[in-house]
Structure 1
């Protein structure tokens, strides 16, 4: 059994509290414990940044492990290896002596090996009476056995972080590809919308990513890009739905004209316009309200409305609609104008429009008149909420935060 004692370094090298702590923990090694030297070395290679060692220090440790006679590091096999610097230099492919000593010191400071210096600083071992190794002076590998579980846990943590980084990178690549192709098809098909501005906004978002981004940076950008992709999809769906509705209206109109020679006014007198009635009194042609955007996207584009939510926050569409009622009154929008917007656009979209008006309050003279104008345009199928949200997202997005 290897004798347990406090070993101070030879010559001018000083003793440190860290070295003392490493020796103390190594003295408490479980006699029955063992670890595969190459398995723990691979774990160290994964966790080297967390442990605090360099690639060259690991190359020196690899050379030290080649001098250990067994694959299993255990107390029964001894812990000390005692190669000379010349032998270590050969097994590190000709590493210079000063570099070798510097990396050996790094391994000691990191608590991966312990110096067992002889009285004259030489590395050697004495034979015992039975012909086996007795007392040995060199480097003890006992810390690798003592810290095996810690090192393996750190390696698992590093590998999990790498997998998460790779997963985020893949999601980011797919999202950027989706946005690129969606904007391309919108431009090719000449879909109405601010697609050039969207392309510029996308380029700014993509350019904000560093060459070697961290997981947190990718996660932040991914949230912005996914919200932007949803905005593009909603805009395309809204345009497609409007075109389909218009086509159906035209087709239905032709069918009625061809199949019924009598005007509708002759069959249903109650729908005739009364003499002197205003055009606004005619029955309206109601369109189905477009699907609302995600709440997260709305709050990202219009953060000012959050303070008007119940308890100073907004966690649901109900909270947003409650806040919109308060903001409507604050902006001077009449209840009838807001109710009409809810009927035409849907309550969620009407609340979103109120949030947008609040965000752009300094640029709008009459909030009520502006809302009525948007409602009329929405009723005719000429207003899309997407570009308005996109413009506010661009103003409040990451690029604006960096330059602001």
Structure 2
């Protein structure tokens, strides 16, 4: 006897296009498809947020699966179960009837089950003479078989997202710990650095971290903390290598200090040029021994604080801000566009900008900034110039000034014994900086 398969729900429940889509999906079960029902259920449970399911609706789905006697769901078998509401409530740990009906609707809306309602809305099965089920009215589990592969992929995506989020949180924790402890170490050891500015940047980054942040926000903050970590780490690393660069620093400081009294560049376009740093063998060896990586931005700003006055808002957080401030300083120093262009070609834009910032810092001792920049540009082309000794010389001048101020004023006003803004350096660095100059 031929029977009709119901496609619409009983009573006042409306038919939706979503329910029709679920029925179309259920018909697409590959021939001979078989899935292990509890394995698929675990995938559905893992991907419940993506599917729109709830914890209670999954408790009902678990009960519905338990009414299917086989451990496997097969497209060739009967996939309709017909438990009464009382039986479902019992297997769902005593769920109230209203809650049961609401979460059954959730399972239908998620496309996990299909209603196969009888003419009177009752759930039952009609068997033939041989005991075989001819017609069943209840809940059709065929979408679980048809979408088993989809559920597995969604579960894997959720697991991957959870892993990525966990890694991001671990990275955030490690970066926060590293930055805080490196800042503390720099202050305790008296490492030259604008630790107040660094600490403020750290606090601004952490202040944007909400209590419950999505992975994208965490990763974005991690990237910013990574930049700050790099800057602080390079400051500390550079501090430990300062004594190895003593000879270069002394040589560069003498070179800059001697540029004012009898400057050979009275005019930027002067016809007479003298190669002051033609360089002997020892100088060339010293230059080759310098680190090959870039100077940290924090060290450059500590050596050239005057540039901060020309920065927009009085703050320089990135190299782009640094370059913008140098563009303001260039015409003020009287450096022509051609001299600046040649310096950028010979040294690179960042190194040329550091050089100009150092010239600005010593502008009261240099008669012609443009001519001096051209001289350094010529030396850079020949491989006889590096910004490291120049910056180190400026830092040592600052340290010497702080030391002299501390000596003449042992007890500053307001009980500030250390002197606000002064550097405290280790004995090893002082010994290195105070070596007699050749």
Decide: shared fold, TM above 0.5. Answer: yes
* Structure 2: distance between partners of 1:28 and 1:293: 64
CA deviations over 1:33-72 (Å, ceiling 9, x no partner): 0111111111111111211111111111111111111111
- In the TM superposition, what is the alpha-carbon distance from 1:379 to its structure 2 partner? 5.8
Matches of 1:355 and 1:124 in 2, distance apart?
Answer: 89
| 1:225 Cα deviation after fit | 0.8
Change (3 A) 1:15 1:336: closer
Deviation at 1:6, TM superposition (A): 4.3
Q: Which has the higher contact order (CA 8 A, sep 6+)?
A: 2
Residue deviations 1:329-372 (CA, integer Å, cap 9, x gap): 79852489869988xx9646423538989xxxxxxxxx959x98
Rounded to whole Å, the distance in 1 between the matches of 2:141 and 2:3 is 14
Measure, in 2, the Cα distance between the counterparts of 1:43 and 1:333.
Answer: 68
Q: Which residue pairs with 2:30 in the alignment?
A: 30
| 1:93 alignment counterpart | 93
Cα pair distance change 1:248/1:19, threshold 3 Å = closer
Cα distance, 1:10 vs structure 2: 1.0
CA distance in 2, matches of 1:219, 1:172: 8
- 2:395 is matched with 382
Q: Distance in 1 between matches of 2:18 and 2:233?
A: 59
**8 A contact 2:234–2:296 mirrored in 1:** no
Which deviations, in whole Å up to 9, do the C-alpha atoms of 1:247-288 show, x marking residues without a partner? 9999xxxxxxxxxxxxxxxxxxxxxxxxxx957788799775
Following TM superposition, by how much is the alpha carbon of 1:210 offset from its aligned partner in structure 2, in angstroms? 1.6
CA deviation digits over 1:303-330, x for unaligned, max 9?
4799x9xxxxxxxxxxxxxxx9999579
Query: Residues 339 and 236 from structure 1, CA distance in 2 versus in 1: closer, same or farther, beyond 3 angstroms?
Result: farther
Pair 1:301 & 2:303 matched = no
For 1:48-63, what aligned pairs fall within 5 Å after superposition? 48-63=48-63
Q: Tell me the equivalent position of 1:10.
A: 10
RMSD: 4.2
SS across alignment from 1:239: helix
Distance 1:147 1:327, change over 3 A: farther
**Does the aligned pair in 2 maintain the 1:47–1:154 contact within 8 Å?**
yes
**Structure 1 length-normalised TM:** 0.68
Structure 2: which 5+ residue stretches go unaligned? 251-259, 265-275, 301-315, 359-367, 374-386, 398-438
Q: TM-score, normalised by structure 2?
A: 0.64
Q: CA deviation at 1:154?
A: 1.3
Aligned to 2:107: 107
Shift of the 121–335 alpha-carbon distance from structure 1 to 2, 3 Å rule, reads closer
Counterpart of 2:352 in structure 1 is 351
